[in-house]
Each structure stands twice: as C-alpha cells, then as structure tokens.
Amino acid sequence: MDSFYVYEHWRPDTGACFYVGKGNGRRAWRMRGRSRHHRVIQSELIALGMAVDVRIVAQNLAEEAAFAMEQGRIAFYPLADLCNMTEGGEGVSGWKHSLECRKRIAASKTGRPGRKHTPEARAKMSLAKLSRNLSVEHRAALSLASLGKKWTPERRAKHGVSQQGRKRTPETIAKMRLANLGKKHTPETIAKMRVSMIEHHRLKRAQEDSRRSLAWLPPRAGGDGQRLLPQTVAPALPSQ
C-alpha cells in the first residue's frame, strides 16, 4: 500500500532543516518520542514563540521507495546539522512490542519519580506558550488530530472545576464573538441547545413558583421568620 511519505523538520528561526524522516499517518506532526537533540530544538523554538516547520517532501510512496528517498535527503544535508542518528533506511513500520517486553518496560519505570519543574521553570514555560504564534498549517494539523476525540467524564469534571470563577478578558470575548460570527450550527447541535434551554427555563419557573408560594404564607407566631400553612377556619353555626 503506497501510504508512506518523506518529511523534513525545519527551524523557522534559522531557515535550516534539522531532521529528515519517513512515516505515515500523523508521524510527521508528532513531536513526542523524538531524540534528545530534537527535543532541545523544540524547546528552543517554543521559547522563541515558534514551532517546528513540517514539510512533506514526497507522499503516496511504497515503504521501500520512502526508505530510499529518506536516505537520499539525509545524504543531501550535512549529517552534523541533523538530529538523525543514522543515515536512514532502517526500521519496520507497525512494529509492536510483545506482551513480555511491555511488562519489562513497565516494571523498569515503576516507582521512578517523575521530573518536577521549579516554579521559575513553570513560569517561563507558561510565558513561552502564551506568546506562541502558531501557523495556519499548524493550527489545522492540531484541529485534525483532535477531531473525533471524546473527553472522559473525569476529564470533563476536572475541566469544569478549573474553569469555575475564571473571567475572560474583553479581548478574548471579542475574539470569540468574531470567531462565531456567521457560524451555522448543525441540526444535532440545534436540537441539543433547544433541549438544554427548555430544561433551563423549566428549572427557573419551578424556582419562581416555589418563591411565590412561600411569599403569601403568614409568619409563625414568635417572629422567628418561619412560616406556617394557612389554617382553614370552619364557618360559625347559626344560633338557635
């Protein structure tokens, strides 16, 4: 199946290629699991408010042709300028570790403390992400990668707690309004919004009815603020 491609990672700050690879699917845009040298360059670009520039050299290739082109592209650049550890052409697509191998890897990582960043490092990372400007292509790739993913109930609950009390700036509100301007909802979304609005008004009416029913009740003797249900008074009998 001719589903492979050859890609390159470029630095926007220097305009230089620093990695050549072969893959399929979303491999070219996945930045996890890269070499240490590659991760260092990623960190440098993030600190500058930039991202890795992904360029597809050729696509719709057989795996053997993709390996050959990968070797040719690596040979085209000075190997000292690349993050590639070899001259390319090796590896097996779709390789999966055996169950015993996965258990050994899991056992080797069990109990190892994770790396904790200092407050200063966290502040720098947050500032770098806030000032990061993603290209249109990068935004489209992120949107495509998240398409169809559903949040678990636990993640929804955590997100709801994190958003409580958070106030958006006027600039953010203006951007959200502009982004939704002229946007048309699907029939399914409209139906969900209608059901949610009906339920909201039903609960609101129930609360108002409850407040009105309590408003006319006479206060309890003693002035403690509590109310009693009105007593029914029997009509007086006519005198004989």
Overall domain count for the chain: 1
Q: Per-residue pLDDT averaged across 155-181, rounded? A: 85
Measured CA to CA, the distance from residue 204 to residue 207 in angstroms comes to 5
Structure tokens at 200: 């909201």
Answer whether residue 117 is part of any domain: no
Q: Around 211, how many Cα atoms within 13 Å sit in the side-chain half-sphere?
A: 6
140 found inside a domain = no
In three-state secondary structure terms, 30 is coil
Question: 19-62 pLDDT, tens per residue?
Answer: 999 999 999 999 988 988 999 999 999 999 999 999 999 999 99
- Stretch 174-191: mean pLDDT, rounded? 86
Domain assignment present for 96 = no
**Residue-level pLDDT at 38:** 93
Give the domain extent around 25: 4-87
- The reply to whether 64 falls in a domain is yes
Distance of CA 161 to the CA centre of its chain: 16
12 falls within a domain: yes
Q: Which residue has the higher pLDDT, 8 or 177?
A: 8
Split at pLDDT 50, 70, 90, the class of 17 is: very high
Residue 46 confidence (pLDDT): 92
What whole-number distance in Å separates Cα of residue 240 and Cα of residue 238?
A: 7
- The per-residue pLDDT for 92 is 53
* pLDDT tens-place string over residues 122-146: 888 777 777 677 778 878 877 877 7
Q: Percent of the chain, pLDDT > 70?
A: 79
Residue 43 within any structural domain of the chain: yes
Is residue 234 over pLDDT 60? no
Closest residue by Cα to residue 67 from 46, 87, 51: 87
The verdict on residue 178 lying in a domain is no
Cα separations in angstroms, 238 against 216, 231, 232, 233, 234: 31, 22, 19, 15, 12
Q: Would residue 197 count as lying in a domain?
A: no
User: Whole-prediction pTM value?
Assistant: 0.41
Digit-coded pLDDT (tens) for 77-116: 988 889 888 777 666 555 566 777 777 767 766 655 555 6
